[in-house]
Amino acid sequence: MTTQYKSGRSSGGGGGFFLFLFALVLGGVALALFIRHATAGPMAKVAALIAGRTTTIDTSVPAVVEKIQRLSRLETVVYSLDTVVEGNKTNSVLPDVLVGDKLLLIVHGQSVAGIDLAQLKPEDVKIDSAAQSIHVTLPASQLFVTTLDNQHTRVYQRTTGLLVAADQNLESDTRAKAQDQLQQAALSDGILDAARKNARATVTVLLYSLGFQKVDVN
C-alpha cells in the first residue's frame, strides 16, 4: 500500500498582506483629511501637534546684513521736471540782432535718488535676540543720476544775429545747463530726505518679515 502526501503553501498569507496595505493607505487618507479639515477647537490643536512645523529664521547680524544688502542700490525716489531753459551768446559791443545767438530749450528730465545698501556694515546693525528687536543705521542717501529725456527735450525757438552763423555748441551747452538746473532743483526740493524716508520704510517691512518684533531704522 502506498501513501502519498501533497505539500503546498496556503494562499491566505498573500491576502492578509494586501488587506494590511489597503488599511494603511486608508488610514493615511483619513489622517490627511483630518489634518486638512480640523481648523477649530480641540481637534485643530491635535492636528497642529501632528503636522505642525517650526519656522526658524537666522537673525544673526551677518545674515541680516546680507539680506538687506541684497536690495543693493535701492532707488526710492524719481523726481521729474518740465521747464524751459535759455541759452545765449552775446557780444559786449555789438547788439544781439547782429551777432547774438539765442535759443529756448523745452526740457523734460528726471533725477533718481536712493540708498546704496551694499555699503551697509555689520556695525550698523544691532540685534537684541532676547527682546527680538533690531536697530539699523542706513548709509547716507544719494542722488544716483540726473538725465534728460531726449524724446521730450527739444529746441523751441532759435534766434541768430545777421552777421554770424549759429553756434553748433550752444544747444549741447544749454542741455548741460538744464541738467545742472534739474539736479539743483531736485536737491532743493528735498529729494535726499524723501529717498531716506522711503528706504527706511522698505527696510522696516523687510525686517518685520524676518520675525523681529521691534524694528528701528534710521
In the chain, the amino acid numbered 201 is: A
Higher-pLDDT residue of 143, 169: 143
Buried/exposed code over 2-37 (b: 16+ C-beta within 10 A; e: otherwise): eeeeeeeeeeeeeeeeeeeeeeeeeeeeeeeeebee
Largest CA distance in the chain: 151
Model pLDDT for residues 175-192, shown as the tens digit of each residue? 999 999 999 999 999 999
Higher-pLDDT residue of 64, 149: 149
Q: What is the band of 94 on the pLDDT scale with cuts at 50, 70, 90?
A: confident
Is residue 193's pLDDT more than 50?
yes
Averaged over 29-37, what is the pLDDT?
63
Dihedral angle, C-alpha 121, 126, 130, 131, nearest 10 °? -130
**Cell numbers standing for residue 214:** 521691534
HSE (side-chain half, CA atoms, 13 Å) at 70: 7
Q: What is the pTM of this model?
A: 0.65
Averaged over 122-126, what is the pLDDT?
93
Q: What is the band of 30 on the pLDDT scale with cuts at 50, 70, 90?
A: low
Nearest-angstrom CA–CA distance, 174 and 152: 15
Higher-pLDDT residue of 25, 184: 184
Is residue 57's pLDDT more than 90?
no
CA of 139: how far to CAs of 8, 74, 106, in Å? 84, 11, 36
Is residue 114's pLDDT more than 90?
yes
**Cell numbers standing for residue 101:** 545767438
Task: Give the start-to-end residue ranges of the domains of the chain.
Answer: 12-51, 61-217
Is residue 146's pLDDT more than 80?
yes
Contact 193, 187 (CB under 8 A): no
Count of positions (residues) in the chain? 218
Is residue 121's pLDDT more than 70?
yes
Tell me the percentage of the chain whose pLDDT exceeds 90.
Answer: 41
